Each structure stands twice: as C-alpha cells, then as structure tokens.
A and B are shown apart, each in its own frame.
Chain A
Amino acid sequence: MARSRSAKIFRENMGTNNPVFVQVLGICSTLAVTNVLKNTVVMCLGLVFAVSMTSVTISALRKGIPSQVRMIVELLVAACYVIMIDIGIKAYAPDISKQLGPYVGLIITNCILMGRAEACALTSPPWIAFVDGISSTLGYSYVLMTIAVVRELLGSGTFWGISVMPPGWVNWSIMVMAPGGFFMLAIFMWIIKKFWLIPAQGGATNA
C-alpha cells in the first residue's frame, strides 16, 4: 500500500501536481536563477536537499509540534538545513557561493518548502514525506533547467558557460533580465498546459 501511494505521489508531483506549473509555487527562484544554467543546477540541488530533509524532519516530529508554533517550527527546521547548504557551498565551492549570493538564503521562503511541509509532512509518515519532498523538487528542477537552458542560450549565447552560438549571434539581452524570465515561464506553462495537461484532462479548461 505504501509502495503504490508513494509511487502515485511521485508521478503526480512530477506532472499533474507539479509545484511550478500547476500549484504555481516556487516562482521567485524560478525566475531569479534561471538565467545561468550552472546557478540553476546548484539551486535545484539545494532545494532537493532542503525540502526532502525538512519534510522528513517535520514528519518525524509531527506528533509533538504544538499547533500555534507550527509555522515557526517549520521555518526553523528549514532555516537550519539551508544554513547547512550555505556553509557547505562556502566551504567546498566558494565561487558558486559568491554567485548565488542571497538566493541560497531565500530557499527558506521558497513556497514549495512550506507548501509541502503543510500539505504532506505534517500528516504523513516520514517515508511518504520524503518521497513527496524529493518528487516535488525534482518536478521543480526539470522545469527550471529547461527554462535555464533556453534563457542562457538565447541571452548569453552560452551553455554552462561555454560559448555555443555561431559567431555573429547577437545576444537577446532581455532573456537574461527580469522580463525574459516572466515570459519564458509563461510560455513553458502555456506549452505544457495546452499540449499535455488539458488534453490529458479531456479538454476541460483549467484556470
């Protein structure tokens, strides 16, 4: 029973309940870091760690957490794991640490983290919470990486920092800036919804 439930959660979080294009969570970081692929990958790894660990921890403690301080406890636990990530990056990958700046700290306020803790971790056993955490963030990761590849390619002419565009290519600077992020995410949502989600639901409109 547990096996099939976790498999179902995994599938849903990757597709029909995807945190980014269905639940519309975690948008801030989606827009902020996706102009450079390398930063995106680091952010995704960080989020996978933070969300899964927080979900497991909250799930393990769920019987004892007093309801008034529920949110503070969730935030506290999340903050601690994020600090671990921050310390880890500073110690073992200092250049990346300098590039990511405040965005590592903002993992704490990533709505996916709180969203999954509230929706799943508080009411599920640790293994389910762990699967939920991992699958949500994996679902988040593939969306971000797709957008990042496009934004870096069109905006800087590079892939993972390596110039791949033919000479004479003029960078679409807008892709690297704020508006580019908004538009790319909207286009991604549009394509996924129009060609996958809506047909899968039998053509019903989904607002």
Chain B
Amino acid sequence: MSSDSPARKKLKERAWTIFFTLAITLVFGATVSALHVATQERVAQNEKLFLQRALRQAAGLPKLPDAGLPEWFANSVTVDAGALRPRYTVRLEEDGKPVLVVERSGAGLWGTIRLAVGIAADDDGISKLTGIAVLEQGETPGLGARIDEPWYAEQMRGKHGTLKRMPEGTRSERPDEIDGITGATITAVAVQEILNRVLAEQDSADAEQRRAD
C-alpha cells in the first residue's frame, strides 16, 4: 500500500477529491433542504399574515393582532379570482361599504415596488385612496425604503386626483398633494406614478359606471 506507483496515487487522490466533494455537497445540501421543508409551512403562513395585514392597512383599517387576521380575512375579504392582477374587495364592518384593494407594481430605483392600494368611493361619489401598503420593495435602507414607514402610508388617506409630490414634511391639506421623501426622489416618484395610475383607472371605471347608470 505504501509503495503505490505515482499513477495509482494520483488516481486515488482524484477519486478522493471527487468523493469528498460529492459527499460534502450531499450532506450539507440535504441538511439545508430538510430545514427548508421544516419551515416551509411557517414561511407560507408568514406570507399570508403579511398580505392580510397589508390589506387591512390599505383599506384604512386599524391594526389587528395576528391571531384575529385569518378570521377577519375569511369573513370580510373577497378575492377577485378572475382578475389579471390581484384584486380584493374588503367589506368594512361598520357600514358594510366595500373598499377595493388592488396590487400594483412599478419600477423603483433598485427593483420592483409592489403596493397594495385601497380605493373607496366617498359620500360625494369620488373615488379616494383609503390607504396603501408596501408589499415588496428593494430600495435603499434609510432612504427609499422609508416608504415602509407608517406616516408615509397614512398620509395617503383621502387623496385623489393627479397626485403631486411636495417636500417631505409639508403635509398639505389638498387632496392632490402628497409628501415625498428627502433623498429618495426616484423611489417617491415611482410610488407616485403607481398611485396615479390606480387613481386614473378607477376614475375611468367610475365614469363608465355613471354612463351605464
């Protein structure tokens, strides 16, 4: 054994290299896959809760503890199965009025920004925003990622028309002015454009509805 010819030694070395690499890959790959499978359900559940929380926020409803979300979702939310992009109708508990929540995406600075946008017709018949929730974004932490912050989403309530961006902190009373984020212009513009698209579509849908009536 100790007097192996050089060729045989090289073969043994090669064989060991291949065997070792394969073995390591299998062992570690299997461990990771096992972990993945073990947590899959939990991850899926987290995703569901995340969406339900977002729907509530977009509909302008106050926060609900996670335990109550699935029940609320089952009772008050109808999913529009046939739509191209996800659409949900949320029934408000107090008055049964429907709030339409749509998912809409746009190009941000780093990647896609996906929002849940809530729209409902006010007493005067105009469709206004009830709120927004950020479903997906990959913007700069501390800058563009601030669209996640509560104040940013809350300011959208009641806004309608063609939205214009004001400097951060303005908090205009006008329904067509929203605050941007200092240092995150591209991200703020992206969100503004998504919202304007949703509002415009709803306005034309409303106009058609009125013509039909």
Main secondary structure of the interface of B (DSSP, over half): helix
List residues of chain B with CB under 8 Å of any chain A CB. Answer: 13, 16-17, 20-21, 24-25, 28-29, 31-32, 35-36, 39, 42-43, 46-47, 50, 136, 138, 140-143, 145, 182-183
Interface residues of A (CB under 8 A from B): 33, 35-36, 39, 61, 64-66, 68-69, 72-73, 76-77, 80, 83-84, 87-88, 90-92, 94, 98-99, 101-102, 152, 155-156, 171, 173, 176-177
Chain B residue nearest in CB terms to A82: B32
| A87 and B36 form a contact (CB under 8 A) | yes
Chain B: which residue is nearest A101 at the CB level? B138
Q: How far is the CB of A95 from chain B (nearest CB, A)?
A: 8
Cβ contact within 8 Å between A80 and B28:
yes
**B31 contacts across to A, CB distance below 8 A:** 80, 84
Would you call B28 and A173 a contact (CB within 8 A)? no
* Least distance between A132 CB and chain B CB atoms (Å): 22
Once the chains bind, are A36 and B21 in contact (CB under 8 Å)? Answer: no
Task: Decide: A77 and B28 in contact? CB cutoff 8 A.
Answer: yes
Name A176's contact: one of B29, B42, B138, B142 (CB within 8 Å).
B142
A68 and B17 form a contact (CB under 8 A):
yes
Chain A residue nearest to B141 (CB atoms) is A36
* Interchain nearest-CB distance for A142 vs B (Å): 21
B93 to chain A, nearest CB (A): 27
Of the candidates A77, A88, A99, A177, the one whose C-beta lies within 8 Å of that of B145 is: A99
Cα A123 to Cα B26 in complex, Å, equals: 25
A173 and B46 CA atoms in complex are apart in Å by 33
Instruction: Contacts A66-B17, A73-B24, A87-B32 known; list 14 others, CB within 8 Å.
Output: A36-B141, A66-B13, A66-B21, A76-B24, A76-B25, A80-B29, A84-B32, A87-B35, A87-B43, A91-B42, A91-B46, A99-B141, A176-B142, A176-B183
Nearest-Cβ distance from residue A144 to partner chain B, whole angstroms = 14
Nearest CB on A from B137, distance (A): 8
The reply to whether A177 and B143 contact each other, CB–CB distance below 8 Å, is: yes
Contact A176 B143 (CB under 8 A): yes
The answer to whether A73 touches B141, judged by C-beta atoms less than 8 angstroms apart, is no
Known: A35-B142, A80-B32, A176-B143. Contact between A72 and B21, CB under 8 A? Answer: yes
Known: A33-B141, A87-B39. A69 touches B21 (CB 8 A): yes
Chain B residues, Cβ within 8 Å of A77: 24, 28
Tell me the nearest residue of chain A to B31, going by C-beta: A80
Chain A residues lying within 8 Å of B138, measured Cβ to Cβ, are 101-102
Question: Cβ of A90 and Cβ of B17 under 8 Å apart?
Answer: no
Name the contact of A94 in the complex, choosing from B13, B17, B46 (C-beta under 8 A): B46
- The answer to whether residues A65 and B20 also contact, given A77-B28, A94-B50, A176-B183 and a CB cut-off of 8 A, is yes
Query: CB distance A91 to B43 under 8 Å?
Result: yes
B21 CB to nearest chain A CB (Å): 5
The interface residues of chain A lying within 8 Å CB-to-CB of B142 are 35-36, 152, 155-156, 176
Chain B: CB-nearest residue to A161: B149
Q: Which 8 A-B pairs have the closest CB atoms?
A: A176-B142, A173-B183, A66-B17, A91-B39, A80-B28, A35-B142, A94-B46, A91-B42
Question: Taking CB as reference atom, which chain B residue is nearest A69?
Answer: B21
Is B21 a contact partner of A73 (Cβ separation < 8 A)? yes
